[in-house]
């Protein structure tokens, strides 16, 4: 059974007077959020569902909404949010197709996508064609898949988890995989500490990307919810609560920009 994270906040309106009227409880609008396993951004196994999940949830609560977060397989999360069964989706990058049914807020988290190889690899990457005809591991549902298909020279192998890419690379079942450094570091430290120095990042960034919490255009007041969310995020960044969440999760906001050796 899929785990559902629920965070509720309720307005309590008390009717004062001598009439003895029962207090009335008015619930705020519930925003149903979907996401997928992608540590350390979002994960059922992490504190508060991961740092990005907590940022989104706290911002929406500060904006005056209730929230419910559910973890699903990525493709299912995208489809169900697109169709309006969920109101928001955490972890989506921008594509023109997605913009037809998702609304993108101002706030995003920068995620430079890099290629990772075994330390003994002979691959030299200056331009994408240098990697042909590599076997490339890619997260299933990622826009990188379509971008790599354009070159018509790769064996693209979608996977469900980052751990699968790491295992396949260590066992020589792929030549390279593409992912964000913050995620790879997280999994290497947690699941593969003895092999942490066997995987290296190629220096050239494939694509400077951003990930968003997107709002389904099936949500009637999605524009208002999105605007409220952005206002709340800016307030959190100003009052220090945003930085406090990152610190709580051991995340440095500029980690992916500055880089860290693997």
Number of domains the chain contains: 2
> Could you report how far apart the first and last alpha carbons of the chain are, in Å?
35
* CA neighbor of 33 nearest in space, from 61, 62, 1: 61
Q: Is the bond preceding 40 in cis, omega lying within 30 degrees of 0?
A: yes
- Cβ 158 vs Cβ 73: under 8 Å: no
For residues 118 and 85, membership in a common domain is answered with no
210 or 1, which is more confident: 210
For residues 52 and 33, membership in a common domain is answered with yes
The answer to whether the predicted template modeling score (pTM) of the entire model surpasses 0.85 is no
**213-225: per-residue pLDDT in tens?**
999 999 999 999 9
The answer on pLDDT for 162 being more than 60 is: yes
Task: Please tell me the predicted confidence (pLDDT) of residue 6.
Answer: 52
For residues 44 and 27, membership in a common domain is answered with yes
Mean pLDDT of 159-175: 95
For residues 168 and 196, membership in a common domain is answered with yes
Q: What angle do CA 181, 185, 191 make, to 5 degrees?
A: 140
Let me know if 146 is exposed, middle or buried by CB neighbors in 10 A (0-12, 13-18, 19+): exposed
Counts for the chain of helices (H) and strands (E), in that order: 8, 12
206 or 116, which is more confident: 116
For residues 215 and 95, membership in a common domain is answered with yes
The answer on pLDDT for 199 being more than 50 is: yes
* CA neighbor of 178 nearest in space, from 193, 187, 166: 166
Integer Cα distance of 237 and 235 in angstroms: 5
Q: Give the pLDDT band (50/70/90) at residue 22.
A: very low
162 or 253, which is more confident: 162
* CA neighbor of 212 nearest in space, from 42, 31, 2: 42
Q: Give the pLDDT band (50/70/90) at residue 4.
A: low
**Full residue range of the structural domain in which residue 22 is found:** 4-109+210-258
92, two tokens? 């989506």
Task: Please tell me the predicted confidence (pLDDT) of residue 207.
Answer: 83
Q: How far is CA 105 from the centre of its chain?
A: 14
**132-157: per-residue pLDDT in tens?**
999 999 988 888 999 999 999 999 99
Residues in the chain: 262
For residues 42 and 68, membership in a common domain is answered with yes
**65-96: per-residue pLDDT in tens?**
999 999 999 999 999 999 999 999 999 999 99
What CATH number does residue 158 fall under?
A: 3.40.190.10
Continuous H helices in 5-114: 51-62, 74-82
């Amino acid at each position: 059974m899929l785990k559902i994270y629920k965070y509720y906040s309720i307005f309590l309106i008390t009717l004062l007077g001598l009439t003895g009227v029962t207090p009335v409880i008015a619930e705020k609008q519930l925003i149903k959020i979907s996401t997928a396993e992608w540590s350390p951004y979002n994960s059922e196994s992490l504190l508060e569902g991961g740092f990005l999940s907590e940022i989104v949830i706290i911002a929406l609560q500060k904006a005056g909404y209730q929230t419910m977060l559910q973890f699903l397989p990525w493709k299912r999360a995208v489809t169900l949010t697109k169709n309006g069964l969920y109101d928001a989706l955490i972890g989506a990058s921008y594509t023109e197709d997605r913009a037809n049914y998702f609304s993108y807020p101002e706030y995003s988290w920068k995620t430079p996508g890099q290629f990772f190889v075994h330390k003994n690899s002979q691959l030299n990457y200056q331009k994408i064609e240098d990697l042909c005809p590599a076997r490339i591991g890619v997260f299933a549902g990622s826009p990188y898949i379509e971008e790599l298909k354009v070159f018509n020279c790769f064996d693209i192998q979608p996977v469900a988890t980052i751990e699968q890419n790491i295992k396949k690379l260590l066992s020589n079942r792929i030549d390279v995989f593409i992912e964000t450094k913050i995620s790879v570091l997280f999994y290497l430290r947690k699941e593969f500490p003895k092999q942490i120095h066997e995987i290296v990042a190629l220096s050239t960034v494939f694509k400077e990307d951003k990930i968003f919490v997107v709002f389904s255009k099936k949500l009637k007041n999605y524009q208002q919810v999105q605007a409220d969310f952005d206002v709340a995020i800016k307030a959190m960044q100003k009052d220090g609560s945003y930085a406090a969440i990152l610190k709580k999760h051991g995340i440095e906001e500029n980690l992916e920009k500055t880089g860290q050796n693997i």
